[in-house]
C-alpha cells in the first residue's frame, strides 16, 4: 500500500523542475507511505512513490524497472495472484530480481502488453512508463478500491493517488469549484463518476486504463461487471459449495503479508465471516478491532464484535469515541477525504484504524459483502414494491402520487420513495442506494438553491450523462441486478471505497476487502436473484453457507453497520457550530443556497431531527471550501507535516 504520483510533459523539459515537483507531490501524501520514497526523473517524465512496506520488505523499493530500464512502474495496492503470475513469467524466460508483486507488473506488461491488466487479481493504481515508445499508462483496479486522480492540459498530464499531490503543481493553477460536481454531491451525498469538486481534476474510473502518447490521451475500459447465466445451471447446494471454496481461497490470498494482519469487526455477518475463514487459513495470531460510542441509547456493536473474536480465538481491541472526538477530527476528515462525502461512519473508521496502527499494518474488512451479495434492506424492499406495482397494473401510475403525498410528511417522508418505485421507470427513481427523487436536495432544489445553482442543476449534463450511460448499460438486466449494477458504479467506488482508502491511509494502514476480489464479485453477479434475496432475507446464499460457522446471534440480527450517533451530536454538541458555519456571511456569499430555506432546514432538524444527513452534507461542504478554496496554497501541506 502506497502513494504514487507523476507528471509527463509532452515536450521534453529540464529535469530540475520535474524533480522538485515530484518531491513536493510525494511529501504531500507521506501518510500513505512513511517507510520509504523513490523517484524516477528523466527529461519530460517524473514518477514518485511513497512506500508502506507490506511484502518483500528488503527489495520491494519503487520505482521498479525491467532488466534494461525501458519499462518503469510505480504502483499502489496488492496483486494477490502475483506468485502464480511470477511462476508463469519465469517459465517464459523473464528474469526477476525481487520477490515483490510490483515486479510482476513490469514483466506482465512486457509479455502481454496492455492486456496485462486482465491477468491481475488485486487492488491497484498503476503508473507505467514505457521508454521504448514514450508511452505513459495509468490504470485502476476493477472495482475502484484504490484511487487515482489526474489533470491534463495541451502540454502535460499530472496524476496522483491523492488530489493534494496535484495541488502541488504550479501549472495546475488556483483551486476552483466544479459546480456540476457540487450539485452532484448534493444529489447523491457523494460525487459520482469521473468528475471531482476541483475543476480540472478527474478520477480514472474503475476498470479503466489511460494511455498517453505524443500528447494524445486515450481512456480504455478493460473490465465491466456482467450479470449472466453462468451459475444458473447449478443447484443451490452446488452454489454453496463453490462460494465457500472461493471465499476460502480469496481470504487465503488476502492474508498474504510480511507484516501483521488484523480485522475490522463491525459485529455483522460479513466481517465475522471473513474472520472465521482467516483463522482457518493461518496459524498466526489474528487481532481484531472495533469501536463504540460514549453516551446512552446508542447502538453498541462491541457486544457482537467480542462474540466474534471470542468464537474464533482472535485477540480483541476496542475503543470509545466521544462527541468531542468526532468534532475534533472534522477538519482533518475534510483534509484526508479531499472531497465532500456524507459519510459520518468514516470518522469511526479513522479512529479504529488509528487504534489498529499500534498493532498491525494491514486490516481486512467486510466492505463490499452487501454490494456483491445484495445485503442492504432496499434490495428486498424495492423489488417488493415493484411487484406490488406490477400487480395493480394500469393503476400504478395513479397510486404512485397518492402514496407519495400520503407519506410525504410521515417520518420525514421516509416511505415516500416507494411511491416512485411503484409507478416510475427505473431511471426515474433509482439514482443509487442513497439517492432518488425523494431525497431532500432532489425534491427541494428549486427552493434551497439560488437561481444560479438551479441553472446548474437543470443543465448538469456531466452528472446526467454519466448516469444515463449506466442506465443504458443496465437496461436489459433484471430489477435487482439493475440496482446492484448502478451501486457498483456509484455508491461503491465514490463513497464506500473512497472512505475506506482515505481514512485508513491517514493512519498508514492498508485496508483489504476480500468480498471485492473481482472473482468473488463476478461469482455473485451470476447467482440467480432468488438466491441473493429470498423473501425478506438479504444475502441469502452467503448466510446459508455461514449457518454453521457464524454465531446465530450475529447471523440473525438486523443490519446496523457502524451506527455513528451523529444525528444527536448535530443537535446538541454541534448545535452552535452548525449555526455559525452555515449561516456565516462567508458561507452565504458563496451564493449556493437560499438563506431563508437554509434557516428552515436547520430549525426543523433541531426541533424534529428530520434533516441530519442534509445538515452534515452542508457542514462538510462549507468546511471543504474553507480548507481547500480559502486557504493559501502554502498551507496545503499542513496536515501532511503534522
The residues annotated with a catalytic role in the active site are 2
For residue 305, the 8-state DSSP code is H
CB burial class (10 A; 0-12, 13-18, 19+) of residue 99?
middle
Residue 72 pairs with which residues in a beta bridge?
65, 129
Q: How far apart are the first and last CA of the chain?
A: 21
**445 burial type by CB count under 10 A (0-12 exposed, 13-18 middle, 19+ buried):** middle
- Residue tagged 435487482 (cell numbers): 480
Provide the 10 A C-beta neighbour count for residue 546: 22
**487 neighbors 493 (Cβ within 8 angstroms):** no
With CA atoms as reference, report the closest residue to 618 among 185, 21, 278, 84.
185
- Backbone angles phi and psi of 74, in degrees to 5: -120, 145
Q: How far apart are CA 288 and CA 309, in angstroms?
A: 7
Helix, strand, coil percent content, the chain, rounded in steps of 5: 50, 15, 35
Chain centroid offset of residue 328 CA:
23
Cell of residue 187, nine digits? 444529489
Nearest of 178, 211, 210, 212 to residue 196 by alpha carbon: 178
Contact 363, 351 (CB under 8 A): no
Question: 313 pairs with which residues across the strands?
Answer: none
Residue among 254, 262, 205 at smallest CA distance from 78: 254
Centre a 10 Å sphere on the Cβ of residue 400 and count the other Cβ atoms it contains: 19
Other C-beta atoms lying within 10 Å of the C-beta of residue 281: 17
- Cβ-count burial 451-479 (b if 16+ within 10 Å, e if not): eebbebbeebebbeebbeebbebbeebeb
Element (H, E) at 401: helix 396-406
Q: Does an H or E element contain 47, and which?
A: strand 45-51
Amino acid at each position: 500500500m502506497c502513494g504514487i504520483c507523476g507528471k509527463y510533459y509532452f515536450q521534453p523539459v529540464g529535469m530540475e523542475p520535474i524533480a522538485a515537483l515530484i518531491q513536493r507531490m510525494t511529501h504531500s501524501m507521506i501518510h500513505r507511505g512513511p517507510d520509504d520514497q523513490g523517484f524516477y526523473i528523466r527529461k519530460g517524465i517524473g514518477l514518485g512513490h511513497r512506500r508502506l512496506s507490506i511484502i518483500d520488505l528488503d527489495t520491494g523499493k519503487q520505482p521498479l524497472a525491467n532488466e534494461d530500464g525501458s519499462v518503469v512502474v510505480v504502483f499502489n495496492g496488492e496483486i494477490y495472484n502475483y506468485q502464480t503470475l511470477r511462476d508463469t513469467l519465469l517459465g517464459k524466460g523473464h528474469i526477476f530480481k525481487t520477490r515483490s508483486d510490483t515486479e510482476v507488473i513490469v514483466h506482465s506488461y512486457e509479455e502481454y502488453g496492455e492486456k496485462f491488466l486482465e491477468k491481475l487479481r488485486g487492488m491497484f493504481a498503476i503508473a507505467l512508463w514505457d521508454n521504448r515508445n514514450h508511452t505513459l499508462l495509468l490504470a485502476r483496479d476493477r472495482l475502484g478500491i484504490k484511487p487515482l486522480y489526474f489533470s491534463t492540459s495541451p502540454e502535460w498530464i499530472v496524476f496522483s493517488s491523492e488530489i493534494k499531490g496535484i495541488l502541488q503543481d504550479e501549472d495546475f493553477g488556483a483551486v476552483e469549484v466544479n459546480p456540476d460536481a457540487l450539485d452532484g454531491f448534493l444529489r447523491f451525498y457523494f460525487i459520482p463518476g469521473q468528475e471531482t469538486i476541483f475543476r480540472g481534476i478527474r478520477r480514472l474510473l474503475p476498470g479503466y486504463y489511460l494511455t498517453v502518447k505524443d500528447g494524445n490521451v486515450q481512456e480504455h475500459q478493460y473490465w465491466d461487471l456482467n450479470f449472466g447465466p453462468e451459475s444458473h445451471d447449478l443447484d443451490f447446494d452446488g452454489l454453496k459449495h463453490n462460494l465457500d471454496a472461493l471465499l476460502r481461497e480469496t481470504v487465503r490470498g488476502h492474508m498474504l503479508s510480511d507484516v501483521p494482519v488484523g480485522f475490522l469487526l463491525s459485529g455483522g455477518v460479513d466481517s465475522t465471516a471473513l474472520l472465521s475463514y482467516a483463522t482457518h487459513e493461518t496459524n498466526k495470531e489474528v487481532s481484531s478491532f472495533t469501536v463504540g460510542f460514549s453516551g446512552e441509547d446508542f447502538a453498541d456493536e462491541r457486544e457482537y464484535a467480542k462474540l466474534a473474536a471470542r468464537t474464533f480465538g482472535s485477540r480483541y481491541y476496542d475503543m470509545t469515541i466521544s462527541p468531542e472526538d468526532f468534532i475534533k477530527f472534522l477538519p482533518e476528515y475534510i483534509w484526508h477525504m479531499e472531497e465532500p462525502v456524507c459519510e459520518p461512519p468514516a470518522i469511526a473508521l479513522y479512529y479504529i484504524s488509528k487504534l489498529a496502527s499500534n498493532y498491525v499494518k494491514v486490516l481486512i474488512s467486510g466492505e463490499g459483502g452487501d454490494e456483491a451479495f445484495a445485503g442492504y434492506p432496499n434490495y428486498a424492499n424495492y423489488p417488493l414494491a415493484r411487484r406490488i406495482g406490477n400487480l395493480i397494473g394500469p393503476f400504478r401510475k395513479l397510486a404512485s402520487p397518492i402514496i407519495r403525498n400520503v407519506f410525504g410528511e410521515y417520518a420525514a417522508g421516509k416511505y415516500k420513495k416507494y411511491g416512485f418505485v411503484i409507478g416510475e421507470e427505473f431511471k426515474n427513481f433509482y439514482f443509487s442506494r442513497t439517492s432518488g427523487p425523494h431525497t431532500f436536495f432532489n425534491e427541494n432544489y428549486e427552493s434551497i438553491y439560488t437561481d444560479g445553482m438551479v441553472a446548474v442543476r437543470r443543465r448538469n449534463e456531466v452528472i446526467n450523462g454519466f448516469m444515463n450511460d449506466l442506465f443504458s448499460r443496465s437496461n436489459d438486466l433484471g430489477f435487482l441486478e439493475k440496482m446492484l449494477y448502478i451501486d457498483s458504479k456509484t455508491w461503491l467506488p465514490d463513497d464506500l471505497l473512497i472512505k475506506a482508502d482515505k481514512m485508513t491511509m491517514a493512519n498508514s494502514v492498508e485496508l483489504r476487502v476480500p468480498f471485492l476480489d473481482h472473482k468473488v464479485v463476478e461469482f455473485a453477479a451470476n447467482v440467480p436473484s432468488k438466491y441473493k434475496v429470498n423473501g425478506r432475507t438479504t444475502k441469502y446464499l452467503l448466510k446459508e453457507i455461514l449457518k454453521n460457522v457464524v454465531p446465530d446471534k450475529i447471523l440473525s440480527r438486523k443490519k446496523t453497520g457502524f451506527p455513528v450517533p451523529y444525528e444527536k451530536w448535530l443537535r446538541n454538541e454541534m448545535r452552535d457550530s452548525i449555526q455559525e458555519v452555515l449561516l456565516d456571511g462567508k458561507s452565504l456569499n458563496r451564493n449556493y443556497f437560499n438563506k431563508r430555506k437554509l434557516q428552515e432546514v436547520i430549525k426543523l432538524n433541531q426541533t424534529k431531527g428530520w434533516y441530519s444527513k442534509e445538515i452534515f452534507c452542508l457542514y462538510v461542504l462549507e468546511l471543504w471550501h474553507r480548507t481547500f478554496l480559502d486557504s493559501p496554497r502554502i498551507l496545503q501541506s499542513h496536515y501532511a507535516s503534522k
